[in-house]
Amino acid sequence: MGVVPPDYGAARQRFREAAAHAGWALESHSVGATGPAGEDLTIDVAASRAPGAARTLIVSSGLHGVEGPFGSAVQTALLESCAADDVAPTSVRCVFVHALNPYGFAWSRRCDAENVDPNRNFVLDERPSEASRAAYARFDRLLNPRRPPSALDLFYPRAIWTAAVHGLPTLKQALVTGQYEFPNGLFYGGAEPSATHRVVAEQLAGWAGGATLVLHLDLHTGLGRWGRGKLLLDYSLSKVERARLAEWFGAGAIEDGDPRGVAYRACGSLGPWVVSRRVAPVYLFAFAEFGTYGNLRVLAGLRAENQAHHWAAPDAPGTTRAKARLRELFCPADSAWRARALAGGVSLVRRAVDGIAHAAA
C-alpha cells in the first residue's frame, strides 16, 4: 500500500516519478506562489494514454491543502501499481490531478495564499442565507480571535455552550457554509476566482478529454468515521445518475449534503461548479471523504492554525505546534488509520474504473 509523503515537495516528486514510470502524460500548472524552500508551487496532472476513450475518470486531491498527503498517497499508489497495467482498461482514460491547492499543502494550511478556502470559491449564483451570514458574524470572535495563541483558551467550553444553545446541526451549517465578509476568517470564499479556480476553469475540458461519461472523485479527509470512506454529494442528481453511483459503490456509501449527517451544504463548492461546465454529456462528481477526528476537535485545530497564521510569528513555537496539529487532524500518524484509509481510497478508485468501464452507453 502507498506511503504517506512527509511534505509537498516529496509528494510532488514521487507522484511525477510514478506517473513517468507508468508512461502517463504529465503537465504542470503554476499557481504563482512559492513553498517553504522557495520552490514554485504547481498543480500537477497525470493522464493515462487511452486514445479515443469515451469514458474518463478524474481523481483530484489536495483541494484543502493540508489534506493533500492522503490524496497524494492514494494517487501515487495507483500510479505505482499501474506499471503492471492493472488499474485502467484502455476504454477508460484516467486523469489524476495532484495538489489542487499546493500552497495549503506546502504550508500546512487548509486555504490558499490569500486565505481563500478553494472549496468555497467556485461560486455559481448561490450565496449564504441571511441567517447563515448573521450566525457567522455572531460567532466570528469565537472562531477568529485577534491575538496570538495562548495556553489559556476557553474555546472548547464556549463552543460546547454555543452548540447546546443553537443546536449542533444549525451551528455546523452556519459555520461551514462559507463566508465572504471576513477575509482573515475561517471558510472564507474570496472576492474573486482563486488561483486554483483559474487553473481548473482553463483545464477542465482538456481533462475530460471529449469523453461522453466523466466520473470525478475529489479526495478529502476529516469528516466521518475513523478511517472510513463516504461519497458526499452536494448537487442534484437524476434518478439514473444516482442509480449508477449506487450500483458502482453501494447505496450505503453515498450521502447527500445534510448538517445532521457527515456532509453539509457549502456555497462555492467544486462539485456543482464542474458539473455546470457541461464538458461532457454526463459528468458525475462526488467528494470522497475519509474520517479522522471529531468535528469539534477538527474545528478547534482549524481555528488554532488560522489564529497562529494571522496573529503570531511564522517561526513561533505556537505556530509550529498549530500546524503540526492540523497535519495530524487531517492525516493521522496512526498506522492503522493510514492502512485502512489508503486501502479504502485505492479500492474506491478501482471500483470507479470498473464501474464506468462497464456502464451502459
pLDDT at position 330: 98
pLDDT at position 357: 94
Q: Do 36 and 180 belong together in one domain?
A: no
Q: Is 324 part of a structural domain of the chain?
A: no
Q: Is 278 part of a structural domain of the chain?
A: yes
Q: Do 222 and 184 belong together in one domain?
A: no
Q: Do 249 and 261 belong together in one domain?
A: yes
Q: Do 138 and 167 belong together in one domain?
A: yes
Q: Do 282 and 219 belong together in one domain?
A: yes
Give residue 110's domain range.
8-119+193-293+329-357
Q: Do 35 and 101 belong together in one domain?
A: yes
Ordered per-residue pLDDT tens for the chain, 361 residues: 579 999 999 999 999 999 999 999 999 999 999 999 999 999 999 999 988 899 999 999 999 999 999 999 999 999 999 855 555 567 899 999 999 999 999 999 999 999 999 999 999 988 888 878 888 888 888 899 999 988 788 898 988 888 888 777 777 777 788 999 999 999 999 999 999 999 999 999 999 999 999 999 999 999 999 999 999 999 999 999 999 999 999 999 999 865 445 456 689 999 999 999 999 999 999 999 999 999 889 999 999 999 999 999 999 999 999 999 999 999 999 999 999 999 999 999 999 999 999 998 6
Q: Do 235 and 341 belong together in one domain?
A: yes
Q: Is 19 part of a structural domain of the chain?
A: yes
Q: Do 206 and 260 belong together in one domain?
A: yes
Residue 298 is inside which H or E element, if any? helix 295-311
Q: Do 232 and 210 belong together in one domain?
A: yes
pLDDT at position 352: 97
Which is nearest to 81 in space by CA: 148, 178, 1? Answer: 1
pLDDT at position 332: 98
Model confidence, pTM: 0.95
Q: Do 206 and 244 belong together in one domain?
A: yes
Interatomic CA distance for residues 141 and 127, integer angstroms: 22
Q: Do 145 and 202 belong together in one domain?
A: no
Residue 31 makes CB contacts below 8 A (sequence gap 6+) with 41, 42, 43, 102, 103, 112, 113, 195, 196, 199
Q: Is 268 part of a structural domain of the chain?
A: yes
124: cell is 455559481
Residue 39: DSSP 8-state? P
In 3-state terms, the chain is what percent helix, strand and coil (to 5)?
Answer: 45, 20, 35
CATH number at residue 77: 3.40.630.10
Which is nearest to 260 in space by CA: 220, 289, 295, 302? Answer: 295
Interatomic CA distance for residues 283 and 295, integer angstroms: 30
pLDDT at position 98: 98
Q: Is 322 part of a structural domain of the chain?
A: no
> How many domains does one find in the chain?
2
Give the strands of the sheet with 213-226, arranged side by side: 25-34, 40-47, 92-98, 55-60, 213-226, 282-291, 229-233, 254-256
Q: Is 282 part of a structural domain of the chain?
A: yes
pLDDT at position 128: 87
Q: Do 51 and 101 belong together in one domain?
A: yes
